[in-house]
């Protein structure tokens, strides 16, 4: 897909944001009543994260949020997507809210609004209270009911000031990396449990959407952020096409089927029948999951390339989702993942903006009339300060330019894309990779926690201030 040879302009109301998540940046894990989440437990379990690193301190955003908001304003951002720590607000996952926990988010929201930055609040970015996991976690229906109660508490506290709400971030990761391959918290490896978790995450979304609407002004948007995969067949051979369809069902249809269309794909149910009978899908569940959405968030990093395997696939897969002997793809053990060609980021992910374009066009068709946001997109590079303390990252600028050009192309072809959230605002705890992968537009010295905007932050800020994507020859 060619990039623009001349400057292109985005719509005037387009939101220019950056995104983070609570466990990755906040720290202060034992302050003001917060109790452990599954990520506290997982990161403190030997062998689970690189170097045994944890989010105990992270980048100390809990104490430095005013500095961070001022930096966002300096860069010219108009929106900021953050997540709420469930166990900071409701330590056991049940009962009344802890006001000290809510007060942190009240202060954060007030600071954002004072700087003219629109808050976008994500209720769940993978940090389930440990007590709920001890009671069975997402494979248990009760967790979805508890989530709806939590959503109501946060909606009551912040619904008067936050207009953009996201129920779940990447439920695929929560279900299949957390309960299937075990590379994410809570680290379980049970394919049937992963499928149950996916359903109860869907149900949690639907119940939470209804709960939020019952306590918030009608002007507020309720959305969900899906890491929908762009799944491409290795060839047009019928077996490869069938393999791509199975992965597409597990990556995409399992969520957008009930959320957007009110039903799970029949092909998904058939392909997983040997693992589960889906009897936990009760009457009324898909209707609840199909609660109306005001917008859809899409997270994109790299496409997937798959084929049928000649025999059962053993051991780790080249699917970009960490290393495990256990698959995050239930019922697809005979599907082979291939490394896609092209330049790669530090995560080993191929840089391919055409995938983002394809994703936006697909969901314009899947849900006509539904506004879209790119709620995550970004790249990890081995960023280092130069002798003068500056951090120059031309690779990230080129990455952003290519993907923003893809967004602009989708808009010109009819996609109603209303905003873009760079992942991430700043370097942070990158889950099982610890602090070894830097996605931030702002460099963080983990010894001092000093923040230094990289050249990409300045470049992105200029695009945000002007709404103009410069010509390709001026991107770096």
| Nearest Cα to Cα of residue 24 among 11, 40, 4 | 40
User: Packing angle between helix 353-366 and helix 394-412, nearest 10 degrees?
Assistant: 30
What are the two backbone dihedrals, phi and then psi, of residue 279, each rounded to the nearest 5 degrees?
-70, -15
Do residues 98 and 84 lie in contact, with contact meaning Cβ atoms separated by under 8 Å? no
| Catalytic (active site) residue 376 | yes
User: Packing angle between helix 141-158 and helix 99-114, nearest 10 degrees?
Assistant: 50
d(CA 206, CA 211): 9
Catalytic residue among 170, 221, 395, 430: 170
**118 strand-pairing partners:** 79
Q: Work out the number of other CB atoms within 10 angstroms of the CB of residue 73.
A: 18
Do residues 309 and 335 lie in contact, with contact meaning Cβ atoms separated by under 8 Å? yes
d(CA 187, CA 209): 28
Structure-token match 């391919």, residue found: 352
Q: How far is CA 29 from the centre of its chain?
A: 21
Q: How far is CA 182 from the centre of its chain?
A: 18
Tokens representing 460 are 């992105």
As separate numbers, helices (DSSP H) first and strands (DSSP E) second, the chain gives: 16, 15
| Catalytic (active site) residue 163 | no
Catalytic residue among 3, 26, 221, 376: 376
Tokens representing 277 are 């009978």
d(CA 164, CA 122): 9
d(CA 87, CA 305): 37
d(CA 80, CA 77): 7
Q: Work out the number of other CB atoms within 10 angstroms of the CB of residue 473.
A: 9
Tokens representing 221 are 């948007």
d(CA 302, CA 297): 16
List the catalytic residues.
170, 376
């Amino acid at each position: 897909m060619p990039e623009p040879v001349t400057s292109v302009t985005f719509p005037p109301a387009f939101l220019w944001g950056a995104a983070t998540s609570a466990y990755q940046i906040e720290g202060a894990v034992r302050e003001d009543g917060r109790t452990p989440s599954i990520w506290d437990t997982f990161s403190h379990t030997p062998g689970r994260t690189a170097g045994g690193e944890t989010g105990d301190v992270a980048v100390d955003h809990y104490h430095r949020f005013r500095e961070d908001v001022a930096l966002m304003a300096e860069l010219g951002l108009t929106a900021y997507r953050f997540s709420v720590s469930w166990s900071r607000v409701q330590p056991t996952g049940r009962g009344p809210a802890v006001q000290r926990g809510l007060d942190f988010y009240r202060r954060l929201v007030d600071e954002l609004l004072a700087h003219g930055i629109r808050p976008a609040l994500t209720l769940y970015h993978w940090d389930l209270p440990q007590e709920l996991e001890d009671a069975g976690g997402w494979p248990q229906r009760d967790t979805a009911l508890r989530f709806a109660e939590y959503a109501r508490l946060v909606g009551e506290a912040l619904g008067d000031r936050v207009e953009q709400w996201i129920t779940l971030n990447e439920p695929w990761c929560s279900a299949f990396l957390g309960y299937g391959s075990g590379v994410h918290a809570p680290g379980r490896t049970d394919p049937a449990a992963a499928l149950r978790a996916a359903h109860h995450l869907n149900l949690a979304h639907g119940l939470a959407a209804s709960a939020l609407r019952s306590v918030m002004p009608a002007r507020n948007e309720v959305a969900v952020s899906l890491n929908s995969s762009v799944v491409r067949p290795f060839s047009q051979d019928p077996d490869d096409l069938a393999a791509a369809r199975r992965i597409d069902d597990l990556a995409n249809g399992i969520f957008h089927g009930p959320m957007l269309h009110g039903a799970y794909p029949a092909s998904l149910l058939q392909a997983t029948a040997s693992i589960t009978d889906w009897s936990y899908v009760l009457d009324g569940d898909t209707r609840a999951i199909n609660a109306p959405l005001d917008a859809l968030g899409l997270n994109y990093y790299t496409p997937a390339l798959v084929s049928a395997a000649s025999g059962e696939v053993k051991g780790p897969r080249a699917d970009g989702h960490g290393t495990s002997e256990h698959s995050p793809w239930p019922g697809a053990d005979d599907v082979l993942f291939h490394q896609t060609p092209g330049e790669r980021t530090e995560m080993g992910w191929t840089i391919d903006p055409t995938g983002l374009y394809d994703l936006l066009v697909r969901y314009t068709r899947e849900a006509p009339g539904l506004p879209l946001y790119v709620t995550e997109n970004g790249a990890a590079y081995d960023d280092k300060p130069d002798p003068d303390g500056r951090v120059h990252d031309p690779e990230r600028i080129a990455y952003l330019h290519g993907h923003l050009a893809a967004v602009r192309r989708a808009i010109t072809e009819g996609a109603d894309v209303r905003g873009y959230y760079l992942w991430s605002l700043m370097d942070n705890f990158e889950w099982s990779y610890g602090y070894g992968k830097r996605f931030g537009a702002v460099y963080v010295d983990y010894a001092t926690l000093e923040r230094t905007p990289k050249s990409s932050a300045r470049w992105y800020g200029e695009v945000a201030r002007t709404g103009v994507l410069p010509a390709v020859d001026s991107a770096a």
